[in-house]
Structure 1
């Protein structure tokens, strides 16, 4: 019975070769009736069987002539039967595929390659089965035949996947990230870099020259404008009348919904982008930066574009002495490295009332290392610019809202590396600026908004200096409504002991400030209007937004309020803080000052565990015992520079500093790769304990994640405030 079944299968295999050869020869004359179309559509369902079976059969064929296998009857019979079954499944799959290819919407070079590699795979497998028992069929022939079959199998699968999912389906996530990461915002185009990738990821697998579902191709602008058999894809300027948006918004269960059920659906952000693109007349060449800064399409496009990863500049000077840098940091100046392991320094001078020119002279020891200098809002005059010219490697200089004039800028023309100059809010004039600008050889950007330069003067400067980008600020042309700036907070501190009144403000009169306390974004209808009567009594996150008739609403702004009922009478650190980030020492954690993002902000205190290998450990003492039921910490995350949350926080308490008991342990969530810098807080709650002494131990992360460039190294921990309740 077994032999008869095998002979019958062999006869079917032989007949299949003749039948498939016939189909291939007379394919163009075939007319497929509906019942055969149903069989043809089973091609994607059945094709996985021959792939797996033939792959196993070829592995066995490759090792067939090994000593331990050649004399094994079971091995020989099993591999032969496996090849026979795989070949028969391949015959069925090829036949179904040929039927399916005759349907409307399948054409192109990829289909041809898939058809012929699939047929070749079947014929090769059949030939191997027919010849594998011949006397001349030896080990070398078996290995070559097995490899040939596997190659045909891989090629067939590749072309089939390209028809179903698009040509670059496998490598699209990697290649698209690289392309987007390599595209600077100023060069990005709305269609090419924002809209087209959506089509490629969600639509092109069914709408390409090789698979034209509905006679629609979405691979190029000409085909997109042409549309499909049901008409034009969109009406420029009118998303509601556009077929593209209509099909997207149909119910997923509707057979006309796009993408069809079973395919990866468009996200809400992608649907919004497509609608905004159509509303913007669906152009194919407009740059993102050509759209107004407040335009919704530009805002969504910028958010979608990957930031350009700039290559770190290599400097030809040595690093400054660490002790010198430490000495130069004080109450009116910060000096810090621009990047880890870089010799270049960035200097920020603040506190206008305490400024004098000698603060620049004090930087003599690091003048070669300074590449960035920020003097924003300092009373700097022309007479002091010659001191700045001594910083020979200066790249970026911020003189916004200083007292300099264009005449004084000639003192800076010797700075051969200077490429960014900020002059906004100064007293520069067109005539003097026009005369001095050509002397700067490497300038790329100059900020001159709020300087009194007229639009025509700015246009003349730009035309005469094509290599320099003059940033003149926003000019209201009256064509589009302006966007409100965000609400501001009037509270001097967002840390309070018992209760605090919420105080918000806006510089524009007649603005409604709406806010929420539940984490949702405020809207113009349901969210309460700020009236000055809100009292906060617990940790609260306020989200606020400004609204006014005739204006675009502002962006959402978030304010975090923290309750801290108790302040210790004394605080002692058991281990020293990092040498660069001292802030106010132990007082930092209970001074009601929250830091901002940026490790060099003076408000931060931190512990560089990778160097000191210490925990941030402090002991708080209360003259009168207090009931404590929770402890919170406020910290910064900036994964790119190795600033991570604490790995573990231990809270100890009691009446005797030598006999404290563990009250609770706290862990914080770790950031993911590419997360934006952020400020976070974590709180540990426990059963109320009356304490005289409280010990808080914050342990820095011992090993940064595997995805980090400094994986397995210790992280830096930055904490600016602690909350006791």
Structure 2
């Protein structure tokens, strides 16, 4: 009873606090420690939902003969006060969460007020519970609460998962017919659907994580907090593909872990689109005949050929029963008996999901199994779909050993085998198919010469190898897979390339690799020192790729503690002294919490070791960006000794001043080398540039200094 009374007493002040928050929302700044309870909102919201529904069921469904019983009223009152208490806590934490970056006005504001109104109404119902005992008043109040609950929950789902999340699988947008190849626009029909299904749930006008909105051309080009999404001048094509290629468990990987991931085919489409200039209005058929994007897009689209189907229409109820989020079934066109089947979510695919289509196998004319773990034995199931015209097996796990099963598909016109392990002899068994017009064998075990022989033997079939006139096309760069840039011992260099047969050449001395003298990458390459890895891909018939590069930092010793004086700027405090010894190399986003920043101050950093180390060099990682007033210091004094009371000056570094025309933001590594000696303490004294007016217009402005790591060897 004491708990119940305590909760009842707390309802009024909590609801008053909630009303205060809402009325003065624009003036409230939520500190970091309050963001923690704010992030419990997704957990707490389930409690009022369940309690309100239980309360509604208790009021509406209980038999009349028990409603006068004391235990019935006690239970109803208990459910109501529990719902009111959890509702106000949920609304308060939701308000705190909404003050974090990435949530826009509009839907979020409506959601907040609906949640708050729900809390207020529950409080009023509990406070005046004795006066609304009549069935009419009580039922009206419960109905109002239930309606508010549904509306608030719907908007919450929209904010979290994007517009129309719940009904998306059965709405017309989801069942939009596959566009015609002759009419398809590259962005609207190929790229935008990928962004809608995999990206826009977190990057929309209601929930713009990282200040990034992806709903319009203008917002895509603008980018977000971390910068523009793509840059064709960069080896990795910029931020979007950087994040996509990070390991799934990495914090910055996109889409985040737990969300539907991009398939290899979708990544290939995005990469080809960006590499081609990220055009928004161009049609697929306007791309060059040998363009990779056009080749890939053609495997997804239907042609304008008119065709009359002589089979019966499927049972609509059966189609709806078989269609779900992972296996979407749609009609080829309005009124057509022909069906298109597309599989999604690799983890949910198995042969039983394919076998389940047997009741409608005669009506399936297009089957999309892109990036599914299809096995060779699954082709026997597919071979029963006698009216199949288009089959997409791109990036599946088939080996081609059972490809001959597809000879039963006498109506097959298009077969996509991109990214599989099929061989020329296996594909040759399908040449007798009377309707076959196109086979896509880009990035398979079939080389250009073999494809040409297949074409010669069967001129009616066009074997697409992904490019034409290779003398003018450049192969994409390799990928450096090493995630950690800091090495504390010998580490294997990990690189790969998505094109079979591509040769990777590399250098470790900062020079650009060439196709003749640079070493060929092998699994035995070890990284042992601070080095700049540069790599290029080469393949006969292609122009060599752009250079991709990554710097690695050697650190033999890790200081046991570090003290920095004075304290960093409050906006750029990082992890204090530990920031420069945690062996975590950051990117150039100096506001990401991995850098410490100072404004016009002399800095002293003292690094301590529990046991003396034989040290002969150290490297200091800093940022230089003239446009942002970020400079390297005028000087750095390097002191060392057995302890902090017995230090001697080892070296004074005087970094060169930046070129006044050089405005790029870059990472600068300042090296100090000296006679090796036993040290238990290193002290670094950073003196900023006194006057930066020669580089910027603001007279009297002071320079910023940012440090993220000190590597000791």
TM-score w.r.t. the length of structure 1 is: 0.43
Q: Which has the larger radius of gyration?
A: 1
TM-score w.r.t. the length of structure 2 is: 0.44
